[in-house]
Amino acid sequence: MMETGTIFLVGAGPGDPDLLTLRAARLIESAEVIVHDGLVSPEIMAMARDDARLISVAKKRARHTLPQDDINLLLVRLAQKGHDVVRLKGGDPLIFGRGGEEAELARAHGVKVEIVPGISAANGMAAATQIPLTHRDAASIVSFVAGQCKGLADQDWSGLAGKGRTLVIYMGVKTAPQIAEKLMADGLTPDVPVAVVENAARADMRVVRGPLAGLPDLVKSHKIKSPALIVIGDVTAREDAHLEQLALEAHQ
Q: Which residues are catalytic?
A: 37, 59
Q: How many CB atoms lie within 10 A of CB 246?
A: 10
Binds ligand SAH by CB under 6 A, chosen from 5, 14, 210, 233: 14
- Among the candidate windows 27-35, 49-57, 175-183, 220-228, which touches ligand SAH by CB under 6 A? 220-228
CA distance 117 to 91: 8
Per CB under 6 A, does 228 bind ligand SAH? yes
- Among the candidate windows 49-57, 85-93, 103-111, 183-191, which touches ligand SAH by CB under 6 A? 85-93
User: How many residues of this chain bind ligand SAH (CB under 6 A)?
Assistant: 24
Binds ligand SAH by CB under 6 A, chosen from 23, 53, 202, 206: 202
Per CB under 6 A, does 197 bind ligand SAH? yes
The distance of closest approach from Cβ of residue 4 to ligand SAH in the complex, given in angstroms and rounded to an integer, is 26
Binds ligand SAH by CB under 6 A, chosen from 75, 126, 138, 171: 171
CA distance 65 to 97: 16
* Alpha carbon separation from 27 to 24, 107, 209, 233 (Å, rounded): 5, 20, 38, 37
Per CB under 6 A, does 170 bind ligand SAH? yes
CA distance 129 to 245: 17
Binding residues for ligand SAH, rule: CB under 6 A, are 14-15, 39, 89-92, 95-97, 120-121, 125, 170-171, 197, 199-202, 226-229
